[in-house]
Amino acid sequence: MSTDTAKTSTIALVIDDESQIRRLLRITLEANGYKVFEAATGKEGISEAAQRRPDIILLDLGLPDIEGISVLKRIREWSQVPVVILSVRESDDEKVTVLDCGADDYITKPFSTTELLARLRVALRHSQPREETAVFRSGDLEVDLIARSVRVKGNEVKLTATEYSLLQLFVKHAGRVLTQRQIMREVWGPNYVEQKHYLRVYMKHLREKLEETPSEPKLFTTEPGVGYRLVTGD
């Protein structure tokens, strides 16, 4: 068994109508310490989610009876369990929609097992109640949330209030993709969710101040057509 595994007690529910995908996911997850349950339809998935109370759900969008996004909405009515979407669909609009509806991440098939396991670890970390981490580090970046200080390679970097609010949001959700609408709503407020040019300007500022090569960002990666992600190294 891999040394970098989930806890043995971690329960994963796979909702996918393709038996081969379910089998692949079962083998991969069980080899990494998960206990796996399966569902082949949306209705079955909702029932299993209610009965099994899984720690994480892997949900396909193209189910035979109910659209995956409808399953997500139903589950979100009573549970905040992490949900990672798996789909062959590559529509940016669809990715944005499912993330705005409460999905924790979105992975397009086919995917590597290494990427999948890393995304699951991030989603699970965010679901665990814990004290806020005082100091966040990723590569050369260090953010002290108590002192409100930011350093790159040990050198302090001055940020404006808006730049810091944006960075703080990314640190809070490190490793997860945030849609443009989510970011605009949290940093600028609900009346500004369509003013996405603000975000492009401030992302440029953050990269110029915090990235070694702003034109080739390694920390703040772009999810084309969707949003941005602060890379954690997982």
**Which domains occur in the chain, in start order?**
11-127 (3.40.50.2300), 135-230 (1.10.10.10)
Q: What is the pLDDT of residue 59?
A: 97
- Which long-range contacts link 112-118 to residues 24+ away (Cβ below 8 Å)? 113/28, 116/28, 116/84, 117/4, 117/28, 117/32, 118/234
Using 50, 70 and 90 to split pLDDT, how confident is the model at 7?
Answer: very low
Using 50, 70 and 90 to split pLDDT, how confident is the model at 88?
Answer: confident
Tokens of 125: 């970390």
Q: Are 63 and 17 in contact (CB under 8 A)?
A: yes
Q: How many Cα atoms sit within 13 Å of 76 on the Cβ side? A: 17
Q: What is the pLDDT of residue 129?
A: 52
Does pLDDT of 207 surpass 90?
yes
Does pLDDT of 15 surpass 90?
yes
**Calpha distance 234→231 (Å, rounded):** 8
**Calpha distance 53→115 (Å, rounded):** 24
Does pLDDT of 30 surpass 70?
yes
Q: What is the pLDDT of residue 190?
A: 81
Does pLDDT of 5 surpass 70?
no
What's the chain's average pLDDT?
89
Percent with pLDDT over 70 in the chain: 93
Does pLDDT of 4 surpass 70?
no
Q: What is the mean pLDDT of residues 97-107?
A: 90
**Calpha distance 102→100 (Å, rounded):** 5
Q: What is the pLDDT of residue 234?
A: 54
Does pLDDT of 1 surpass 50?
no
Q: What is the pLDDT of residue 172?
A: 86
Q: What is the pLDDT of residue 64?
A: 94
Percent with pLDDT over 90 in the chain: 63
Q: Phi/psi at 232 (nearest 5 deg)?
A: -105, -10
The pLDDT tens digits of the residues spanning 105-162 come to 999 888 899 999 999 998 898 776 545 568 899 989 999 988 889 999 999 999 999 9
